[in-house]
């Protein structure tokens, strides 16, 4: 096992780490560190996610590779949203292959050794309204609450929806889940989005659900 792999296994609870972490763990000259990193990647023990970001390969990662945690780190500031968030919350039945996120930066997509990560820019203030910290397998990540995930989907896909019917038809969201939304869920998003499409959808859905 490579020295870096040993250190990452010992010190990184999630198995995900940065180049800055590597410098601290190894405490060696930068040129020596680069060689150690290169050998660990060549041996298949470490995966290079993107510049300055790495993770232990599945063989050495005690909890498995968390794409949700990685998504927050690949590009940011960002939070997981849309179909991925709805799948995490159990609101849609199918697994989502690409991890979908919303960022304050430009819309971008990344192909990495652990999968695809898509980031959409949606104008809003503040960015992290109705976003929660979720912990799975001892790893934490930021994910949109269900209503915000739906609004992000509506805005990013350019949907002119004003009621629940297309949510049930297109996204296969159960009416029971929608009825579980509370007035506080809608209040939390009041004035957050700059998009008129988002405002019309929230207003129409709230009126329909009597929230």
Q: 53-88 burial, b if ≥16 CB within 10 A, otherwise e?
A: bbbbbeebbeeebbbbbbbbbbbeebbbbbbbbbbb
- Judge contact between 80 and 153, C-beta under 8 A: no
Supply the pLDDT for residue 27: 83
Q: What is the pTM of this model?
A: 0.93
Q: What is the mean pLDDT of the chain?
A: 94
CA distance 177 to 131: 18
Do 73 and 134 have their domain in common?
yes
Residue 180 reports pLDDT greater than 70: yes
Q: Provide the domain limits for residue 39.
A: 3-56
Number of domains composing the chain: 2
Residue 157 structure tokens: 């896909």
Residue 95 reports pLDDT greater than 90: no
* 61 located within any domain: no
Do 181 and 95 have their domain in common?
yes
Residue 22 reports pLDDT greater than 80: yes
Most confidently modeled range among 64-68, 92-96, 192-196: 192-196
* 73 located within any domain: yes
Do 76 and 118 have their domain in common?
yes
Do 131 and 164 have their domain in common?
yes
Pairing between strand 46-50 and 131-136? Answer: unpaired
Residue 186 reports pLDDT greater than 70: yes
Q: What is the largest CA-CA distance in the chain?
A: 63
- Judge contact between 124 and 141, C-beta under 8 A: no
Do 89 and 178 have their domain in common?
yes
Do 177 and 73 have their domain in common?
yes
Residue 161 reports pLDDT greater than 90: yes
Best CA proximity match to 63, nearest among 73, 51, 55:
55
Q: What is the CATH number of the domain that holds 49?
A: 1.10.10
Q: What is the pLDDT of residues 122-144, one digit of tens each?
A: 999 999 999 999 987 678 999 99
Supply the pLDDT for residue 30: 66
Give the pLDDT band of residue 208 (cuts 50, 70, 90): very high
Mark residue 191 as left, alpha or beta (left: phi above 0; alpha: psi -120 to 50; beta: remaining).
left
Supply the pLDDT for residue 209: 97
Pairing between strand 131-136 and 139-144? Answer: antiparallel
């Amino acid at each position: 096992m490579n020295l870096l792999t040993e250190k990452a296994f010992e010190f990184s609870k999630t198995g995900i780490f940065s180049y800055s972490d590597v410098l601290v763990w190894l405490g060696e000259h930068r040129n020596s560190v680069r060689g150690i990193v290169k050998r660990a990647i060549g041996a298949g023990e470490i995966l290079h996610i993107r510049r300055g970001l790495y993770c232990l390969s599945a063989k050495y990662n005690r909890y498995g590779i968390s794409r949700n945690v990685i998504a927050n780190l690949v590009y940011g500031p960002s939070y997981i949203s849309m179909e991925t968030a709805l799948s995490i919350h159990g609101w849609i039945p199918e697994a989502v292959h690409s991890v979908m996120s919303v960022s304050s930066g430009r819309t971008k997509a990344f192909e990495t050794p652990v999968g695809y990560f898509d980031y959409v820019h949606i104008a809003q203030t503040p960015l992290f309204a109705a976003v929660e910290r979720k912990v799975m397998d001892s790893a934490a990540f930021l994910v949109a609450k269900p209503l915000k995930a739906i609004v992000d989907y509506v805005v990013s896909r350019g949907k002119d929806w004003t009621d629940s019917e297309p949510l049930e038809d297109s996204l296969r969201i159960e009416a029971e889940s929608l009825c579980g939304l509370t007035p506080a869920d809608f209040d939390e998003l009041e004035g957050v989005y700059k998009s008129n499409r988002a405002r019309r959808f929230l207003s129409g859905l709230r009126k329909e659900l009597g929230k």
